[in-house]
Amino acid sequence: EAASVATAVRLNSMCGRSRMALPPESVARAARASRWFDRESFTPCPNMCPGRRSPVLYLDKDGERTLHTMAFGLVPSYHKPGAKLDHFALMNARSETVGSKPAFQRLVHSKRCVVPIQGFFEWLKDAHGRRQPYYVYRQPSEAATLVKHEAGESLLWLAALYDAWGDEGEPRLYSYTILTVDAAPDIMWLHDRMPVILSTDDAIERWLDVKRVPAADALRTCVPHTGLSSHAVHPRMGRVSYQHDDACAQYEPMRITAFFTATPGGPERAVGGPGATSDVAETKVGGDVIKSEPSIPEPSAATVVGKPGEPATGAGVDALVTMGFSQRDAAEALDKARGSCERAIEILTSAAVDRAGLLGASQSPRHAALRTTCTLKRKATPSRTSSEPTRRSPSSKTKGGGRTQKRSPARGSVSVASPLTTGRAGTLHRYLTTRSDDIRPH
């Protein structure tokens, strides 16, 4: 039955990522704890995931508020010695059934705790199957009854259960699981579950007091919390190795329309042009100032195409890097596209504009210049005469009359083996011809 509990938690889990980047001194003051066990094991973490350690608040046997650094993701005390540790299996517990499940029933009576975090991350899948992460937090401007630390930010105090496990004669591993409840209406669009947030000092005390408050009464504090704020963050924070302060910074996905005029006769809004800034932007998230990346410089035919024989550099590469490609892959993609076909830039540009529906009067002067340049290059290419030998391609073969005949591909077609249809360049080309909304890495 314990295995079935782990499976159920996996299917209904959420709040697998959180943020706790405060220094230890701030955490201790916010928790008003008299002691902190294993304090040296805590490292401020902007992108907390199961297995990492964070501070947990509980009442010791004398009723004193105590902090203890524990691992996120419960490892129960009955875990078999020598077996592989899985912090993901029991990272969450449903508050509605926690009192009846063997894995949690004994803990809800004697080992209740509270986990302070600054916010948590959740993912939303769009119509194309892509997952966009969001950061959920509480604004510091809420009512004064909310628990806040000295900097003025409203922390989220999550109801949790903890346990200790360890082989005989070895140090014990302390770990915890976060309780969840049905999501509040204001974040139901993001996920159907949310962590149990204890928003007042009275709720925190009732949950922590395992001696005087029965489990049934403590579970009544597990209700959906409203008034949370959220915004999209960069998909790169999905990597658990990404531990930077801007993991929770607000992010606006780049759209292909940013490179062209949005409406016929409308104002030109070139990326990196008038009205844009190259300075680092600053965003306030719950009292903290998070720095985001600078805007992209304006691409042009010179910086995108480059000179033959030279590696691709400039705004074209910068734009691809912002989309998620590495510097090397971006330069290689543009080099292959430029070297394999004179019409590569025309194909990429035309596909992007056609898919975005920005033709005719709505195209910007920058796009018009690119199309004119590519058209001139195409006209300057000499056409094949009848006296010229036919170029044979091994990719186009037909059989007739018992012998194999090779036919030259049609004028303007792209060979299957061309770098424009393979590798990173092919990925970019296929993406622009099938996607017209967001520019994101393949």
Helix (H, G, I), strand (E, B) or coil at 33: coil
User: Other C-beta atoms within 10 Å of 187: how many?
Assistant: 20
Report the C-alpha gap between 233 and 249 in whole angstroms: 6
**Three-class SS of 121-141:** EEEEECCCCCEEEEEEECCCC
Establish whether 293 is a catalytic residue.
no
Report the C-alpha gap between 232 and 221 in whole angstroms: 29
Report the C-alpha gap between 441 and 153 in whole angstroms: 34
Identify whether the C-beta of residue 73 lies closer than 8 Å to the C-beta of residue 15: no
The phi and psi torsions of 55 (rounded to 5 degrees) equal -75, 140
Name residue, tokens 């590495």: 326
Q: Is 207 exposed, middle or buried (0-12, 13-18, 19+ CB in 10 A)?
A: buried
In 3D space, the residue among 184, 166, 167 whose CA is nearest the CA of residue 175 turns out to be 166
Establish whether 40 is a catalytic residue.
no
The token pair that represents 340 in the structure block:
């394999």
Report the C-alpha gap between 129 and 442 in whole angstroms: 12
Identify whether the C-beta of residue 257 lies closer than 8 Å to the C-beta of residue 279: no
Catalytic one of 113, 122, 248, 374: 122
Sign of the alpha-carbon dihedral angle for 122, 127, 129, 130? negative
Identify whether the C-beta of residue 37 lies closer than 8 Å to the C-beta of residue 67: yes
* E strand or H helix at 229: strand 229-232
The residues assigned a catalytic role are 15, 122
